[in-house]
Amino acid sequence: MKIPEEIPLEKKQAKQIRIAIIEGYTAHARSFPWKETQDPYKIWLSEIILQQTRTEQGLPYYLKITQKYPDIPSLAKAKEEPFLKDWEGLGYYSRARNMLAAARYMMEHHQGTFPNTYEEILALKGVGPYTAAAIASFAFGLRYPVVDGNVLRLFSRLFGITAPVDVASTVRAIRYIACTLMDDKTDPAIFNQAIMDLGASVCTPKQPKCTICPVRKYCRAYRDQLIDLLPVKSKTLKKKSLYYNYFYIPGHSGTFALTQRDSTAFWKKMYQFPLLEDNGKYSTISYLQKRISKEWNYLPNHLQPIAEEKQTLSHRHIHARLFVLDNFPPQNWQDNWLHTSVDDLTRLPLPKLMKTLIGRHLQIP
């Protein structure tokens, strides 16, 4: 397998590739507010939002959060539950919790200012090498190349790298190539924006736009017709399927039941309808009735799902059925169930799946 250290990269060729990448970017660069600032706080926020989110989806969240929390001190003072509500819909909620922890850390250890060295930025909770390099280069002009999934794909095709890109040795080697391309006279912010943008918008996973690629004539995958075979990955993640039975249970005075998820689970501390989880596949209706009787001391006569929805997370496929229990006895209301009103939904953080079930399938009074 060919790894980056084995790829000859002459100084002249490196310069040609670098110029082509930067000129291609500057000719077609899209404008976003985080590209127009050197405020490390705002750059940090944008990078965390865009880690698992498309740019168009992340933009309104960036604008909302920077308006509500314009700086480190204001974010450090934020309570977790309202901030999770602000984050609602972005998913991967550990990002939001890590931001709160990092903001409080900066208040305690950096007097409320953003650290200005790569090592100190990397020490912030939730910040890895890619994000640290992005902030260091965009905010402080430090020469650290960004290497995310888009850049790994771009460079694996450009240099014909057949070593798996999901192993640490290949990532380190591609980072070395990026350092080679970023010479002392290159603006690291522009170079990093250029390789990120090229990987995200041109050298896409499927149907890459090779006809408009500024480095097509240097691309070994294009030359050798390997576009569809690169990048190589050593393993494919197998997602686990989870089967959830959710129950809409009306309470008194127009309320309904919600529960708060465990602090150790994904979607931790977010709110959902009472849940009975199945193991491996959906249980039969008769078995589900028995579980309701055993766990909640109530036997529904008629039980049919009113809706089914799915959501795919990074490691899981969530399959959800929604049931309605109209005549649930008030005396059987569980201790961990909250009497929730419609107004409460504006402040309680809900997983996307829960919002979908409520928005599509329920007419909550």
Confidence (pLDDT) at 276: 97
Confidence (pLDDT) at 301: 87
Give percent of the chain above pLDDT 90.
85
> Given a cut of 60, is residue 84 above it in pLDDT?
yes
Residue 4: pLDDT band (50, 70, 90) is low
Phi-psi sector, 297: left (phi>0), alpha (psi -120 to 50), beta: left
DSSP characters for 53-95? S-HHHHHHHHHHHHHHS-SHHHHHT--HHHHHHHHTTS--THH
List, for residues 300-328, the tens digit of each pLDDT value.
988 999 999 999 988 899 999 999 999 99
Residue 9: pLDDT band (50, 70, 90) is confident
The rounded distance, in Å, linking the Cα atoms of 196 and 194 is 5
Cβ-count burial 96-120 (b if 16+ within 10 Å, e if not): bbbbbebbbbbbeeeeeebbeebeb
- How far is Cα of residue 25 from the mean position of the Cα atoms in its chain? 25
Please list, in sequence order, all residues whose beta carbon lies within 8 angstroms of the beta carbon of residue 290, skipping any fewer than 6 positions away.
none
> Given a cut of 60, is residue 1 above it in pLDDT?
no
Mean pLDDT computed over every residue of the chain: 93
Contacts for 58-67: CB closer than 8 Å, 24+ residues apart: 58/90, 59/32, 59/33, 61/86, 61/87, 61/89, 61/90, 62/33, 62/34, 63/33, 66/33, 66/42
> Given a cut of 70, is residue 3 above it in pLDDT?
no
The rounded distance, in Å, linking the Cα atoms of 313 and 320 is 13
List, for residues 330-356, the tens digit of each pLDDT value.
999 999 999 999 999 999 999 999 999
List, for residues 34-64, the tens digit of each pLDDT value.
999 999 999 999 999 999 888 999 999 999 9
> Given a cut of 90, is residue 227 above it in pLDDT?
yes
Q: Which residue has the tokens 């990120």?
A: 196
Confidence (pLDDT) at 30: 84
List, for residues 228-263, the tens digit of each pLDDT value.
999 999 877 688 999 999 999 999 999 999 999 998
| Residue pair 247/325 in contact by the 8 Å Cβ criterion | yes
**Segments of the chain assigned E as strands:** 240-248, 256-260, 271-272, 275-278, 307-312, 316-324, 338-340
How many helices and strands in the chain, by DSSP H and E?
Answer: 14, 7
Going from the C-alpha of 353 to that of each of 127, 248, 261, 271, the distances in angstroms are: 27, 14, 14, 11
The single residue of 6, 23, 36, 47 carrying the catalytic annotation is: 47
Q: Could you tell me the CATH superfamily of domain 240-361?
A: Nucleoside Triphosphate Pyrophosphohydrolase (3.90.79.10)
Confidence (pLDDT) at 2: 62
Our answer to whether residue 47 is catalytic in this structure is yes
Nearest to 219 by CA among 159, 156, 153, 150: 159
Confidence (pLDDT) at 6: 61
The rounded distance, in Å, linking the Cα atoms of 187 and 190 is 5
The rounded distance, in Å, linking the Cα atoms of 85 and 10 is 51
Q: Between these two residues, 223 and 301, which has the higher pLDDT value? A: 223
The rounded distance, in Å, linking the Cα atoms of 22 and 229 is 26
Helix/strand/coil for 169: helix
Nearest 5 degrees, angle CA 39-CA 40-CA 44?
125
pTM, rounded to two decimals: 0.86
List, for residues 280-291, the tens digit of each pLDDT value.
899 999 999 999
The rounded distance, in Å, linking the Cα atoms of 46 and 60 is 11
Cβ-count burial 61-88 (b if 16+ within 10 Å, e if not): bbeebbeebeebeebbebeeeebbbbbb
| Residue pair 116/107 in contact by the 8 Å Cβ criterion | no
What are the domain boundaries of the chain? Answer: 4-229, 240-361
Domain 4-229's class? mainly alpha
Nearest to 132 by CA among 36, 190, 48, 21: 48
Q: Between these two residues, 1 and 9, which has the higher pLDDT value? A: 9
Omega into 231 within 30° of 0, i.e. cis? yes
